[in-house]
A and B are shown apart, each in its own frame.
Chain A
Amino acid sequence: MDIQPKLVAQGISHVFETGKGDLLVLDRLYLEVKEGEFATIVGTSGCGKSTFLHIVAGLTNPSAGDVFIDGQKIQGPGRDRGMVFQSYTLFPWMSVQKNVEFALKKSPVGAREKQELAAYYIDMVGLRGFEDSFPGQLSGGMKQRVAIARALVYHPSVLLMDEPFGALDAQTRGLMQELLLDVWEKNKCTVLFVTHDVDEAIFMSDHVYIMTTRPGAVKRELEIPLPRPRSYEVVMTPEFTTLKREIVDAIREETLKTMNAPTVKELA
């Protein structure tokens, strides 16, 4: 234990108040992510993985437990963490350039430097030439690339991604994964990524955390020892398949639990 982990989630529990009473979505979730690591949470839908990410972002207050970044307990949202959502969250009234510059609103840099920084990150996500386009003119994949540029431009040390490619078609999704790995290797930030796509989780990550069904907690932690830099061909290797089998089996077990849950039985 020589180095302190970048991100620590300590016994996170969360309860949603619903009309039919309280619903426990997260139950004592523990998780540690090392500095510079690409960590992914996979789980069935409704397991609370998005809620957990919102808690790390400081957008939701957990019912119990704490999240620490560099040993500091988080108190609400902060510029040490950047966020990319699954839904398209660009500001439609601003150009690509202005969208990215907007993230620097609270940075103590001049207008000129803001402009240059934004242009640098727009170029990094491969959108040079689209600075003056409006989000409505861009495809889904391009919008998410701008969202990534906007989340990186102010240098947060942790990047939080909530199924950022979930709304994209399979081909675009594959290219976006490669692009994100490329960008991540250039930026050396810590990434906490949420997905339900097992291939995506293995392809991207150093560590995969498999979640239990609701109430969510970490069921298993898996190291992904595939060498980097990775190309799309890695998904065809036997090592990849072995890892995939393990994760798919674990998730399947959890999914079966939800199928047998009393609420579902009642409906059927």
Chain B
Amino acid sequence: MSSEVPQAAGVSDVPPNIRKQRLLVLREDIAQPVYTLSGIVFIAILLVGWAGLTYGGFVSPLFLPTPTAVVAEAFRQISKGILFPDMWASVYRIMLGWLIATLFAVPIGILMGNFRFFEGLWEPFIDLVRYMPVVALVPLTILWVGIGDEQKFLILFIGVFFQEVLMIMNNVKDVPMDLLRIGYTLGLSQWEVLWHIVLPASMPGIWDTFRITVGWTWTYLVVAELVAARNGLGRRIMEAQRYLATETIIFGILVIGLLGLITDLSFKLLYNHFFKWMKENR
């Protein structure tokens, strides 16, 4: 005679949701290979769909060129020495435009996040400008600084700065007040608290803001190269529009997308490198 509770046949001790890892459970993790593969498969399906539509003759090449036409366009641009000078011209504009915007956004955002006075002083103006459509400012920027690279920097600056500065302000405000208070109780002056505590504590957030705003620059680049640019990826796309060279447009868009992806990944990798201590906090 045993006093144990008899087990019903076919019932295991393991709760059913752990027995088999299911694909769609709210917030539950899935197997890593499935996660990675699904992203690749999705893009593959899009490519197959694209190929099917174009090779099957369901859409006119004028609206959507075949993948081979786009690949051929890639070879043409590389062999004729168009692609890399275009890329360099655009990357150069983006880097400098974004850097100038960031050089202003960081100190101003830090001031606004720390001192209510600067927030009150600048926020109304920044909110006003940031809702102005950047595209509509193109004629003005040409009038002001001409049609050289300066005009491209200016457009990128306007597109990035007024958003970035507010995001940096919020990154700074996210630092818990008790962290500042600890600094004061340790005898630090407010400038020392700012330098030794607020800045390092807000750096991961600011870095993420960098990553996000760099992403936007590609959008504004095309706007900036819309008028009066001799080269650049955006320029090439706008020009192709005139001749209905759809494969040039598609290829240009893909290149920009790829460059954007690479930039994003680099920022993420550097984040993991600079802020190793953040990983454990999650």
- Identify which of A82, A89, A137 gathers the most chain B CB atoms within 10 Å of its CB: A89
A126 within 8 A of B: no
Q: Indicate if the CB atoms of A77 and B184 lie closer than 8 Å.
A: yes
- Asked if A87 and B200 sit within 8 Å, CB to CB, the answer is no
> Cβ of B178 and Cβ of A89 under 8 Å apart?
yes
B186:A91 contact, CB within 8 angstroms: no
Mostly, the A contact residues are: loop
Distance to closest chain B CB from A132 (angstroms)? 12
Number of B interface residues at 8 Å Cβ cutoff, please give it. 23
Given contacts A77-B187, A85-B178, contact A137 B201 (CB under 8 A): no
Binds B, one of A11-19, A100-108, A116-124, A242-250: A100-108
* Residues of chain B whose beta carbon lies under 8 Å from any beta carbon of chain A: 176, 178-179, 181-182, 184-188, 192, 196-197, 200-201, 203, 275, 277-282
Identify B197's interface contact among A79, A91, A137, CB under 8 A.
A91
A135 touching B185 by the CB < 8 A rule? no
* Residues A89 and B280 in contact in the complex (CB < 8 Å), given A78-B187, A83-B185: no
Known: A92-B277, A134-B280. A79 touches B181 (CB 8 A): no
Chain A to chain B contacts (Cβ below 8 Å), 21 pairs? A54-B181, A57-B181, A57-B185, A59-B181, A59-B185, A79-B186, A79-B187, A81-B185, A83-B182, A85-B178, A87-B176, A87-B178, A89-B176, A89-B181, A91-B179, A91-B200, A92-B281, A102-B186, A105-B196, A136-B277, A136-B282
Instruction: Given A58-B184, A93-B203, output 9 extra A-B contacts at Cβ < 8 Å.
Output: A54-B181, A59-B185, A89-B179, A91-B201, A92-B277, A93-B277, A134-B280, A137-B280, A154-B186
Minimum CB distance partner of B275 in chain A:
A93
Shortest C-beta distance, A84 to chain B (Å), equals 9
Taking a contact as CB atoms closer than 8 A, the residue among A89, A106, A136 that contacts B182 in the complex is A89
With contact pairs A134-B277, A136-B278, A136-B280 given, residues A93 and B185 touching in the complex (Cβ less than 8 Å): no
**Most chain A beta-carbon contacts within 10 A, residue among B185, B188, B197, B203:** B185
Q: Which chain B residue shows the least CB distance to A57?
A: B185
CB within 8 Å of B: which residues of A?
54, 57-59, 76-79, 81-83, 85, 87, 89, 91-93, 102-103, 105-106, 134-137, 154
A190 → chain B, closest Cβ, in Å?
15
State whether A136 and B188 are in contact (beta carbons under 8 Å apart), knowing that A85-B182, A91-B197, A91-B201 are contacts in the complex. no
Residues of chain A lying within 8 A (CB to CB) of residue B182: 83, 85, 89
Instruction: Give CA–CA (A106, B185) in the complex, Å.
Output: 11
Task: Report Cα–Cα, A194/B100, bound state, in Å.
Answer: 49
Q: Which residue of A lies closest to B280 (CB)?
A: A136
Report yes or no: B201 in contact with A85, Cβ–Cβ below 8 A: no
Which of A57, A81, A92, A134 has most chain B Cβ within 10 Å? A92
Chain B residues near A81 (CB, 8 Å)?
185
CA distance A79 to B185 in the complex (A): 6
Complex-state Cα separation, A136 to B275, whole angstroms: 12
> With A87-B176, A91-B179, A93-B277 given, is the CB distance from A103 to B201 under 8 Å?
no
List of B residues within 8 angstroms of A78 by Cβ: 187
Q: Given A85-B181, A85-B182, A91-B179, check contact A106 B280 (CB 8 Å).
A: no
In the complex with contacts A85-B178, A91-B179, A137-B280, A77-B185 CB distance below 8 A: yes
B-side contacts of A135, CB under 8 Å: 277, 281
Contact of B200 among A76, A89, A93 (CB under 8 A): A93
| Residues of chain B contacted by A136 (CB below 8 angstroms) | 277-282
List chain A residues, Cβ under 8 A from B192: 105
Interchain nearest-CB distance for B188 vs A (Å): 7
Which chain B residues border A105 with CB–CB below 8 Å? 186-188, 192, 196
Note all chain A residues with C-beta closer than 8 A to B200.
91, 93
A41 to chain B, nearest CB (A): 18
